[in-house]
Amino acid sequence: IQLTQSPSFLSASVGDRVTITCRASQGISSYLAWYQQKPGKAPKLLIYAASTLQSGVPSRFSGSGSGTEFTLTISSLQPEDFATYYCQQLNSYPFTFGPGTKVDIK
């Protein structure tokens, strides 16, 4: 199952609402997770089951979607949110990741 993400790069300001889209090449129900990765660090789980917020993750992060189209929304971008975001499908093996969306400071 192939995942695409759009945009691949996003320039935004603190306080902006940001939306990242992940599309799957075939239906994956809600078996989708979102991760945040900062340079030199391991990915951090943000969202699982498409819309469930991982414990400890700020509520400004939210996820939605099912089937083939999913979104990750950051309601008000904070300085610590500048990072690369990856979606991952866990519907079937082999698990695959999207190519990533880098969120940079405008």
Partner 1 sequence: QLQLQESGPGLVKPSETLSLTCTVSGGSISSSSYYWGWIRQPPGKGLEWIGSIYYSGSTYYNPSLKSRVTISVDTSKNQFSLKLSSVTAADTAVYYCARMYGDYVNDAFDIWGQGTMVTVSS
Q: Which residues of this protein are in contact with partner 1, per CB under 8 A?
A: 31, 33, 35, 41-45, 48-49, 52, 54, 86, 88, 90, 93-100
Task: Please report how close the Cβ of residue 57 comes to partner 1 at its closest, in angstroms.
Answer: 11
Q: Is 80 helix (H, G, I), strand (E, B) or coil?
A: helix
Nearer Cβ to partner 1 (15/93): 93
Taking only Cα atoms into account, the Rg of the chain, rounded to an integer number of angstroms, comes to: 13
Instruction: Tell me the C-alpha distance between 90 and 7, whole Å.
Output: 22
Nearer Cβ to partner 1 (43/65): 43
The helix/strand count (H/E) of the chain reads as 0, 11
Task: Please report how close the Cβ of residue 75 comes to partner 1 at its closest, in angstroms.
Answer: 21
Instruction: Tell me the C-alpha distance between 9 and 27, whole Å.
Output: 25
Nearer Cβ to partner 1 (32/74): 32
Nearer Cβ to partner 1 (25/52): 52
